[in-house]
Amino acid sequence: MDGKSLLPVLAGDTDEHKRYQVSELLNGRAIADRKYKYIETYNDIPELNDLELDPGERRNLAGELPEAAAELEKQLKKACK
């Protein structure tokens, strides 16, 4: 069984305790943390929503917040490999 030490998390030395929710559907996949949701569809149009300010997910912020979109895209690729 593979495992990972929780000692760095308990000592507060890492950001690995950050949790993400990952979803995969027929037309794409998504990852969310407490603030943002990043959606990647097979038509290559990324979407980033602010879950706190826009709970209805009506405004795509991927162009306005490229750093946040890039970080969640990286975490999504890491989770789905």
Q: What tokens appear for 74 in the block?
A: 């990286």
Q: How confident is the model at residue 72 (pLDDT cuts 50, 70, 90)?
A: very high
Whether the per-residue pLDDT at 22 is higher than 90: the answer is yes
**For the ranges 4-18, 29-43, 54-68, which has the lowest average pLDDT?**
4-18
Residue 20: inside a domain, yes or no? yes
d(CA 8, CA 36): 25
Q: How many CA atoms lie within 13 A of 78 on its CB side?
A: 10
Q: What tokens appear for 40 in the block?
A: 């990647």
CATH number assigned to the domain comprising residue 26: 3.30.1120.10
In the chain, the number of structural domains is 1
Residue 3: inside a domain, yes or no? no
Residue 53: inside a domain, yes or no? yes
Domain with 73 in it: 8-79
